[in-house]
Amino acid sequence: MNIITEKLLQVSRSVTPIFLFVWLIHFFLVPFSSTILTAFVLGTICIIIGLTLFLVGVEIAISPIGEYIGKGIARSNKISVLIIVGLLLGFMISMAEPSLTVLGNQISLVTGGAVEGSLLVFIVSLGIAVMVVIGLLRIVYTWSFMAIMLTSYSIILLLSLFASSEFLSIAFDTSGATTGSITVPFLLALSAGISSLKKNSVRKGADSFGLVAIASAGAVITVLFSNLINPTDSLTGDLEISFGLNGSIFLNLFEIGKNQFSDVLSAIAPIAIIFILYQILFLKLPKRKFHRIMLGVIYVITGLLFFLTGVNFGFINIGSIIGFELMKGNQNTWFYILSFLLGMVTILAEPAVAVLTEQIERVTAGALKPVFVLTALSFGVGGATLLAAFRVTSDSLELWHILLPGYLLVFILSFFNSKTIVAMAFDAGGVASGPMTATFILGFIQGAAEGAEGASVLIDGFGMIAIVAMMPVLTIQLFGLVDAYSKRSSQ
């Protein structure tokens, strides 16, 4: 089986549950117009094609580039090289992240341009760049992962005291959205490349995880800090839900694709240019390997173009319609049930999940099977979307009511798990909040917030990604404790 066929089957298995879910909702709960359904079907086809090509490109280009550069940084034995390259790569990888682009566009749309999406992505990327450097220094100097996370979240807690409720939700959502389908495989490969040169196999395994989690904390810090130095007035916003299309469906699809092309090209081109320069000056791979990696870059660009086109054409809108109609029809029970189930199936469609589970199995020499991580992620994300649903229907439940006790429990559990499990759990939180979560479920919750009486799209619609990013950290650590206890009991 060639790599394209393998990835096509993987993506099809992932997207099919969501596709079938929408059709069941159409037949039994919320009937859609033929135009909306056609747009959803075309969007799904684009997403399947896009994710297939993208994952092929990640495997043959993005991951090898990350690992080659990681090994190059380690071999240089120069902290100046690590800092400069880490800043450049952290910034560019974040700018290229599709789920962050989607979130930035959605924030700009909802706020009517009061929060500019491109500026938000730039600010987030600065935070990611700085924290990537700190994460790489941690690997080199074997700094404590939990010390960095405790310091980072203490800073976040302090900055949160000065942020508005609207901006707080946006800041935490950017953290989850940054760690998606490009950022995760690249950072995992980068950390694996640096840690692979360590002689201590235990440290090597622990250091292979954690960089994703450290990087994502930088997003919250810089967004909250930007709000502190440039306070905004109280933000307001509404979600415009489209129940039809103007003009030809295919012309609409083409226009969306054309609008995405320059963004995709400008996001990926800097990564390719840095690798080409690295190849010419230092790496000097054989032509065949170099050409294969450049072909992978083309796959990534083409895949991202198809994916973002499908997302913006079909997925976000139909998710918004489902949430809106359920709230307008006062079908709260179905809203809660669907929130949990959609969370469980959508996480399986996240492209970075497969990358993480494979790395976990490889690093732990098969001790932790993918089914362990997938089960923990499914329950975690299902529970997270259910909590987000409760926020929409409750007047008194605020985001910090969930995040503050949640992260306190996360840090308490970290003292009872191995360092590898803890770093892995934090990385899984970032993986869970990728492009599928940042599109379909985000649209679903925001549509519900738009339809619910007394709810705010800005306050209740955002914040969902932040909860999704936190819950897997809890569930994987809980599963880790249960697994460790059962192994001790069987001995």
* Segment 248-261, tens digit of pLDDT: 787 888 888 888 88
Characterise 145 by phi-psi region: left (phi > 0), alpha (psi -120 to 50), beta (else): alpha
* Alpha helices (runs of H) in 311-418, residue ranges in sequence order: 316-328, 332-346, 351-363, 370-393, 399-413
Token match 């709810």: residue? 455
CA distances from 319 to 6, 18, 40, 197, 389 (A): 28, 10, 10, 45, 14
Task: Give me the DSSP letters along 244-304.
Answer: S-SS-HHHHHHHHHHHHHHHHHHHHHHHHHHHHHHIIIII---HHHHHHHHHHHHHHHHHH
Q: Is the pLDDT of residue 434 over 80?
A: no
Q: At what angle do helices 3-28 and 316-328 cross, to 10 degrees?
A: 20
Burial (Cβ within 10 Å: 0-12, 13-18, ≥19) of residue 224: buried
Q: Is the pLDDT of residue 26 over 80?
A: yes
Q: What value does the mean pLDDT of the chain take?
A: 82
Q: Give me the percent of the chain exceeding a pLDDT of 70.
A: 90
Q: Is the pLDDT of residue 205 over 60?
A: no
pLDDT of residue 236: 63
- Where are the chain's structural domains? 3-490
Burial (Cβ within 10 Å: 0-12, 13-18, ≥19) of residue 324: buried
Range in 41-50, 71-80, 155-164, 414-423 the model is least confident about: 71-80
Range in 10-14, 178-182, 217-221, 240-244 the model is least confident about: 240-244
Q: How far apart are CA 434 and CA 428, in angstroms?
A: 11
Q: How far apart are CA 306 and CA 83, in angstroms?
A: 34
